[in-house]
Amino acid sequence: MSTNTNVHISLAQAKLLVEYIESDQQTKANELIAEIQSPINSELFEEIGKLTRQLHDSLNNFQIDERLNDLATADIPDAKERLNFVISHTEEAANKTMDAVEAIFPVVDGIQKQISTVNPMWQKLMHNDLDVVEFKALCQDIDVLLKTTEKESSKIHRLMTDVLMAQDFQDLTGQVIRKVIDLVREVEESLIYMLTAFGMSSEKNKSDQPPKVGENLVEGPIINSENRQDIVSGQDDVDDLLSSLGF
């Protein structure tokens, strides 16, 4: 072993060395001398020490990050409730709208029916082809038609107002969904932070691949249709595809 002139020995090390020699522990004394003479090792130890501290701090920060805990135990369950609220409110709105529309259909059909009853006589009148008896009957029919139309149009108006009011879900669900989007963004940031803390790049593993058939076959409505090559853009596309298959 070459002599290192820059050797620095601390008082503690010197005392320890004397103690080893006095108690006849030659091996330990030799190890201590080697340690004192080899600053490379101590630098390495120092570096390891630094890393250990960093790891310790990171792990501590990780535990201290209560936000993460809140996200998992409170915010995400809350978001699920919010999204269920959206489902139930949009469903309710759709049903309210359809209630009104289904109530309007027979009303309109009824008016249409009365009009088609009146129409032949009316056409006769327009062509000066109506006798007095028929004219009286026509007047009677038109009187009924006017009365029903008046009554039924106010009913239609009321039902249309119901349809209008059923659209108030958009405002409420919009606000709720915006909150959930904020939460998703926060979770995304936490995940990226986690990846960075573990030395993984979030960019590196970014996948542009659309889900493959088989592994994620059922996808629901396509949101980003303009970026996708594997989907049809509408009914015309479906028809073209099917006819190309001989349908």
Partner 1 sequence: MFSPEGVLDKNMKVLVVDDFSTMRRIIKNLLRDLGFTNISEADDGNTALPMLKDGNFDFVVTDWNMPGMQGIDLLKAIRADSNLSHIPVLMVTAEAKKEQIIMAAQAGVNGYIVKPFTAATLNTKLDKIFERLG
- Give exposure, 60-78, as e/b (b: 16+ Cβ within 10 Å): eeeeeeeebeebeeebeee
Would residue 26 be called left, alpha or beta, if left means φ above 0 and alpha means ψ between -120 and 50 degrees?
alpha
- Give exposure, 140-171, as e/b (b: 16+ Cβ within 10 Å): ebeeebeeeeeebeeebeebeeebeebeebee
Task: Give the interface segment with partner 1, choosing from 56-64, 153-161, 166-174, 238-246 (CB under 8 A).
Answer: 238-246
Residue 148: CB minimum distance to partner 1, A: 22
Q: How far apart are the first and last CA of the chain?
A: 87
Q: Is 101 in the site for partner 1 (CB under 8 A)?
A: yes
Q: Is 150 in the site for partner 1 (CB under 8 A)?
A: no
Q: Is 108 in the site for partner 1 (CB under 8 A)?
A: no
**Closest to partner 1 by CB, 43 or 240:** 240
Q: Which of residues 65-94 bind partner 1 (CB under 8 A)?
A: 91, 94
CB-based contact 15:22 (threshold 8 Å): no
> Cα separation of 74 and 175, whole Å?
19
By CB under 8 A, how many residues form the interface with partner 1?
A: 24
**Closest to partner 1 by CB, 156 or 232:** 232
Q: Of 55, 72, 98, 165, which lies in the binding site for partner 1, with binding defined by CB under 8 A?
A: 98
**Closest to partner 1 by CB, 57 or 91:** 91
> Cα separation of 9 and 142, whole Å?
119
Q: Is 168 in the site for partner 1 (CB under 8 A)?
A: no
CB-based contact 216:230 (threshold 8 Å): no
**Closest to partner 1 by CB, 111 or 125:** 111
Question: SS3 of 16, please?
Answer: helix
Q: Is 163 in the site for partner 1 (CB under 8 A)?
A: no
Residue 88: CB minimum distance to partner 1, A: 11
Tokens 């601390």 locate to 10
Q: Which of residues 182-221 bind partner 1 (CB under 8 A)?
A: 213, 217-221
Q: Is 161 in the site for partner 1 (CB under 8 A)?
A: no
Q: Of 4, 61, 73, 95, which lies in the binding site for partner 1, with binding defined by CB under 8 A?
A: 95
Which residues bind to partner 1, rule: CB under 8 A? 91, 94-95, 98, 101-102, 213, 217-222, 225, 230-232, 234-235, 238, 241-242, 245, 247
